Structure 1
Amino acid sequence: MTTVNELREKRATAWNAAKAFLESRRTDKGTLTAEDDATYTRMEQDITDLSKEIARLERQEAMDAELSRPVNQPLTSKPASVSPAADSVVKRGRASDEYKAGMLKALRSNFKQVSNVLQEGVDADGGYLVPEEYDDRLIDVLKEENIMRSLGNIITTSGEHKINIAATKPAAAWIEEGGALSFGEATFDQILLDAHKLHVAIKVTEELLYDAQFPLENYIIDQFGKALANAEEDAFLNGTGRGQPLGLFAETGGGTAALSATSVTADHLMQLIYTLKRPYRKSAKFIMHDKLVAAIRQLKDNNGVYLWQPALTSGEPDKLLGYDVYTSPFCPEGKIAFGDYSYYNIGDRGTRSFKQLTELFAGNGMIGYVAKERVDGKLILPEAVQILTITGSKSAKS
């Protein structure tokens, strides 16, 4: 019986012979005579037939192996518990399950039962660092509620963060052959990301705190996350830079004031788009107040087609003139921003922490909790965001 290996050897020999025949029988024009062409065609057909036979035998061997397996595999040893994979990552520190359980236990006991595992998270004024799993979930809430966290560039800092900016750029110049070189000066500027403290406090009744069925951690994360996100978004858009981040719409340090109009028109929106330099338009988006949307959705082109394009799938932003639109209740009603918001840098200093207030509300049977964070935000390139200011009525005109 011919084996698969033997057929493979025959195919290899036939292929080498075919290649040698082809090279030796080419004419001066690089072609084959009719007789040699017929011979080479037969050699190719033999190789194809061998390949088909090899494939047939391989399928046959696979089928024999499948059918030879026993229907039931007998147990040859005692069942054992499944152990975790050797290469699995062991969570340590604030990411460990022990720290998470310790934090929940401390919350439910008014921090009277503080285990050693929490001692690593104690800060100077009695707070406890949020477990990493909780911190990730809180970040998710901040991103979902805060449009600037989803659009901006987030940096985790451990100290004052310096960002170097090219204030002036060198320019190329034509010179004659043998002519003297002209030198320009490249100057640089720095933007500092500091850390401004933001906190939120809530009160929880003792009944809720001691009820084991109540998902305390989910409630706190949800309430803290929404409150922090709203305060952050307001500051990232309107902040003065004094004790808070510097906002996108700040008169000094914010986006570039490009246009001013008394009403929203299609021409002004088109002009706003092309006021932004071409490299920034690749990732540009609109930000505006919800009240402006009603006016802009009425704009039509010369064919009567609305300029506003609703999203085709849930969760995706609507589009205006082909660019994504984001709305915020904290955006000034008379301003529209258009630009690449990845140049807005958000600096998170360290991580967030909890703190409990036991005595302040003791007479009311309640426990207070405080979450705090330190964050800063600045637009590092004002030219990356152009702003249209509407000075008069917010109504739209085609």
Structure 2
Amino acid sequence: MSKILELRSKRNTLWEQTKAFLEQHRRENGLVAADAVEQYNKMAQEVKDLGAEIERLEQQAEFDAKLSAPTSNPVHGNPKNGSPKDKNTSPTGTEEYKNAFWDMIRNRGNYGEVRNALSVGVDTEGGYTVPDEFEKKLVEALEENNIFRSMANVIRTSSGTRKIPIAEDTGEASWIDEGEEIPESDTTFGQTMLSAYKLGTMIKVSNELLNDSAFDLATYIARRFGVRMGNAEEKAFITGDGVGKPLGILDDAGAKVGVTAGTQTKLTFDEIFQLYYALKAPYRKKAEFLCNEAVVLQLMTLKDNNGNYIWKPGLEIGKPDTLLNRPLKTSAFMPAVAAGNKVLAFGDYSYYWIADRQSRTFRRLNELYARTDQVGFLSTQRVDGKLILPEAVQVLQMKGSASSGS
């Protein structure tokens, strides 16, 4: 923890030095001397790199805390009082199911017995629903590799589609005279639907590794699948077109374009300021900025009309960097600065709904890689996502190319 505080302090000091360097080399016309730009970029990049290292250490500290947590609860009652041995009401959360599942993965024990224990978790497509403990690890891995899940509203559904009612207006009240009839003003409702698109991935593991009792197979598989599925999900949640995958916030049917930049390559304070106020006030209470890391380098140079930098590094543990005093998050799947690209989003992402259909499933493939003494593992899940209120997120789009007519 002290190392994280030390790096945050170092990062803040370096940022102050970077700002001072920029001002020292700013000419009377407001532009920075060309020979100083390269040095500034190096200093700014170091600030960014320190931020990435701080984030990595914080995730590591959180993971260490989880590993250090007790794995069981102390017994407070009389163990002879006839209480059930396993109070977990989930069929896939029992110790029997978990042991049978991992015996199946390692291909141990009597297959008939394993099959019987796993019958509560058989998937319709021939795989097995992962046990609750493994499901939790996989969900944690997805969240670590998918910042959007922590920002969005995640629901679970057991059906293929989920209908979400939406109030399209709130009606209105009217001033009336004494004895006058109160006019009707009904609220109108629409609805949007969340489907269940299939996402899958496969890995190979050697039999030697499978049978190594010292190797934490569950965590290894969860991490690998989590990274792959987390990346695929986040890309779809941001840029997906809704065809065979979720509809991303940057799709034309998603977030609204609040501001169009005056150039194809540069952002200005006025444009960021306009984007901030393009979002209605109620949404600004929980709103966050979202862009890729390359855009951050431009944002770090921008000042408000009083000469203050609008980007500020997070100084406290767990606190993100801010832009106009609102949290600034980064994703590799946000577009880079280029003609026509939507490079900066600002909004309340809890109005982006992610629907997970039932549990993730898992399948062992024995014969596919038998010649190389390896075993394949296939994991699938069904998920959809959609911004149910497009006005809750506004984006800044760069000026289009001349050929596009923008």
- TM-score with structure 1 setting the length: 0.74
Contact conserved, 1:290 with 1:327, CA < 8 A, in 2?
Answer: yes
Root mean square deviation of aligned Cα: 2.3
Match of 1:271 in 2: 274
Contact conserved, 2:173 with 2:185, CA < 8 A, in 1?
Answer: no
Q: What is the deviation of 1:303? A: 4.6
Question: In 2, distance between residues paired with 1:185 and 1:107?
Answer: 57
Match of 1:390 in 2: 398
Question: In 2, distance between residues paired with 1:364 and 1:346?
Answer: 39
Question: In 2, distance between residues paired with 1:163 and 1:137?
Answer: 29
Question: In 2, distance between residues paired with 1:83 and 1:177?
Answer: 71
In structure 2, the CA distance between the partners of 1:83 and 1:365, relative to structure 1 (3 Å rule), is: farther
Question: In 2, distance between residues paired with 1:304 and 1:264?
Answer: 16
Residue-by-residue CA offset, 1:134-163 (whole Å, 9 max, x unaligned): 111211111121111101111101112111
Question: In 2, distance between residues paired with 1:391 and 1:375?
Answer: 34
Which residue type is aligned with residue 301 of structure 1?
D
Question: In 2, distance between residues paired with 1:365 and 1:291?
Answer: 44
Contact conserved, 2:290 with 2:345, CA < 8 A, in 1?
Answer: yes
Which residue type is aligned with residue 103 of structure 2?
K
Q: What is the deviation of 1:95? A: 0.9
Match of 2:192 in 1: 191
What is the 5 A alignment of 1:156-235?
Answer: 156-159=156-159, 160-235=161-236
Which residue type is aligned with residue 387 of structure 2?
L
In terms of mean alpha carbon deviation, does 148-157 or 103-112 score higher?
103-112
Contact conserved, 2:146 with 2:230, CA < 8 A, in 1?
Answer: yes
Matched position secondary structure for 1:315:
coil
Match of 1:318 in 2: 321
Structure 2 unaligned blocks of 5 or more? 1-76, 402-406
Match of 1:329 in 2: 332
Question: In 2, distance between residues paired with 1:135 and 1:343?
Answer: 25
2:254 is aligned with 1:242: no
Match of 2:94 in 1: 96
Contact conserved, 1:111 with 1:356, CA < 8 A, in 2?
Answer: no
Contact conserved, 1:357 with 1:368, CA < 8 A, in 2?
Answer: yes
Match of 2:126 in 1: 126
Q: What is the deviation of 1:182? A: 3.3
Q: What is the deviation of 1:84? A: 4.8
Q: What is the deviation of 1:110? A: 7.4
Question: In 2, distance between residues paired with 1:264 and 1:83?
Answer: 67
In structure 2, the CA distance between the partners of 1:188 and 1:111, relative to structure 1 (3 Å rule), is: farther
Match of 1:287 in 2: 290
Residue-by-residue CA offset, 1:162-212 (whole Å, 9 max, x unaligned): 111112331223233344543344321111111101011101111111222
Question: In 2, distance between residues paired with 1:280 and 1:381?
Answer: 11
Match of 1:370 in 2: 378
Larger Rg: 1
Contact conserved, 2:137 with 2:219, CA < 8 A, in 1?
Answer: no
2:352 is aligned with 1:344: yes
Residue-by-residue CA offset, 1:370-397 (whole Å, 9 max, x unaligned): 111001101110111111112379xxxx
Structure 1 unaligned blocks of 5 or more? 1-81, 394-398
What is the 5 A alignment of 1:42-61?
Answer: none
In structure 2, the CA distance between the partners of 1:115 and 1:181, relative to structure 1 (3 Å rule), is: closer
2:181 is aligned with 1:144: no
Q: What is the deviation of 1:83? A: 6.0
Q: What is the deviation of 1:111? A: 9.0
Match of 1:33 in 2: none
Identity %: 45
Contact conserved, 2:240 with 2:246, CA < 8 A, in 1?
Answer: yes
Matched position secondary structure for 2:204:
strand
Which residue type is aligned with residue 155 of structure 2?
I
In structure 2, the CA distance between the partners of 1:342 and 1:91, relative to structure 1 (3 Å rule), is: same
Question: In 2, distance between residues paired with 1:96 and 1:300?
Answer: 57
Contact conserved, 1:130 with 1:351, CA < 8 A, in 2?
Answer: yes
Matched position secondary structure for 1:90:
coil
Contact conserved, 1:354 with 1:371, CA < 8 A, in 2?
Answer: yes
Matched position secondary structure for 2:375:
strand
Q: What is the deviation of 1:232? A: 0.5
Question: In 1, distance between residues paired with 2:392 and 2:197?
Answer: 24
Contact conserved, 2:146 with 2:233, CA < 8 A, in 1?
Answer: yes
2:141 is aligned with 1:107: no
Contact conserved, 1:200 with 1:372, CA < 8 A, in 2?
Answer: yes
Which residue type is aligned with residue 106 of structure 2?
R
Q: What is the deviation of 1:90? A: 2.0
Matched position secondary structure for 2:385:
strand
What is the 5 A alignment of 1:64-79?
Answer: none
Residue-by-residue CA offset, 1:25-74 (whole Å, 9 max, x unaligned): xxxxxxxxxxxxxxxxxxxxxxxxxxxxxxxxxxxxxxxxxxxxxxxxxx
Question: In 2, distance between residues paired with 1:294 and 1:300?
Answer: 13
Question: In 1, distance between residues paired with 2:79 and 2:325?
Answer: 50
Q: What is the deviation of 1:98? A: 1.8
Question: In 1, distance between residues paired with 2:102 and 2:242?
Answer: 36
Q: What is the deviation of 1:302? A: 4.3
In structure 2, the CA distance between the partners of 1:206 and 1:260, relative to structure 1 (3 Å rule), is: same
